[in-house]
A and B are shown apart, each in its own frame.
Chain A
C-alpha cells in the first residue's frame, strides 16, 4: 500500500491546518481550511472509505466553505480585532495555552498508541459484511447500516438538521423579502442555464443510488442545496424566490420528515416493528437494480428532500441578509 503517499498527505493536512490557524488574513485561512477538508476526503478515499470521502468532500466544500464565505462577506466592513487582549495579559495567554495543548497532544498520542493493537474484524462487522445482501438487499454496506440496521438513528439525525434549520431561520429572520435582480455577468448566467439540469440530474443520481454506490440522502440533499445556492448567487435572490418560494421549501422539508415517519409506521403496521425493512411490506428485489433495497430508496428520498430543502432555506436566509446589507 502507498505508505509514503499517505505520510505526505498527512504532512500536507497538518501544513494547511497550521496555515489556517496562524494566518491573520481571513480569506487565505478559509481557503486553507477547505484545502484541509479536501485532503481529508483524499485520505479517507485512500483508507478505503469512499462513502465517507464523498460526504466529506460534499459537506466540506458545499456547506462549510460556502457558509463561511457568506458569513465572511457579511462581516467585511468590520475591522479585524487586534491589539492587547482585555481578559488576561497576552504573555500569559500564548505560552500557557501552547503548553496545555502540547501536553494534551502527548497524552492523546500516548493513549492511542497503547490501543493500536492488531486490527481484526469484530463480530458485528463480519455479520454486516456477510449478511447485508440477504437481510436488506442493498449492496452498499454502510448505507445498509445507516438506513436499515440503525434507521431510527438516522431519523434522530434528520431531527438534528431540522433543529439547526429552525434555529438559523429564527436567528436571521426579520427584514423584508429582498427582490434583488443583481446577479453575476451575462456569460455566467447563460452558462448556468446550460449546466443546471445536469447538476440536478447528478444530485438525483447520488440520492437514488444511495444503496448501491456511495451516496445517499444527505449527500444528494446537499448537492441539491448547492444548486439552490448557485441559482441564488448567479441570478440574484429575486429569481430564486419567485421560482421556489420559501413557503414551498418549508413544506418540502416537513414533507420529507413525514415521509420518513410514514415509512416507519408502514413497517410497524405490517407487524415488523417501526422502520422494519424486509420484515415489513417491502420486497428485496434483484440485488443490483434500482428498487432493490426494500424501503431504502424511499428513506433516501425522504432524507434527501429534508436536507435539500433545509439547507437551501438556510442559504436563502443568509444570502437575503447579505443582499439587504448590500442595498443600504
Chain B
C-alpha cells in the first residue's frame, strides 16, 4: 500500500515538473517549484516508512525547511525582475 502511495507521489512529481518546463512565465515556475518541494518532502516521508529507517524523517524535515527558504528567496529577489509575461 505504501509502495502504491510512493508511485502516486513520484508520478505527481513528474506532472508538476511538466508545469516547470512549460510554464509561460516565471511566476508559474515559482508556483510549480513550491508544489514540487512539498511533493518531494512527502516522497521522503513515505520512503522512510517503506524501507523502515526512521532517520529519513530528519531528511524530510530538513528538506522542507530549506525549500521553504528557497521559495522566500525566489519570491523576494524576483520582484524587481520580469516576473509575469
Contact = CB atoms under 8 A, between A and B. Distances in A.
User: Interface majority SS on A: helix, strand, loop or mixed?
Assistant: helix
Contacts, number: 145
Interface string B1-24: 001001100100110010011010
A4 to B, nearest CB: 9
A95 B68 CA distance: 41
Interface string A304-328: 0000000000000000001000100
A294 B65 CA distance: 31
Interface in B40-85: 40, 43-44, 47-48, 50-51, 53, 55-56, 58-59, 61-63, 65-67, 69-70, 72-78, 80-82
Contacts of B72: 184, 188, 230, 233-234
Size bin of chain A's contact surface:
35 or more
A5 B7 contact: yes
Contact of A58 (B26, B66, B73): B66
Contacts of B43: 42
A18 B50 CA distance: 29
A62 interface: yes
B67 to A, nearest CB: 5
A28 interface: yes
Interface of A: 2, 5, 8-9, 12, 15-16, 19, 23, 25, 27-28, 31-32, 34-35, 38-39, 41-42, 45-46, 48, 50, 53-54, 57-58, 61-62, 65-66, 69-70, 73, 76, 183-184, 188, 199, 202, 206, 213-215, 219, 223, 226, 229-230, 233-234, 322, 326
22 contacts: A9-B10, A15-B17, A31-B33, A32-B21, A38-B40, A50-B53, A50-B56, A54-B59, A57-B44, A57-B66, A58-B62, A61-B67, A65-B70, A66-B73, A184-B75, A202-B61, A213-B55, A223-B65, A233-B72, A233-B73, A234-B72, A234-B76
Interface of B: 3, 6-7, 10, 13-14, 17, 20-21, 23, 26, 29, 32-33, 36-37, 40, 43-44, 47-48, 50-51, 53, 55-56, 58-59, 61-63, 65-67, 69-70, 72-78, 80-82
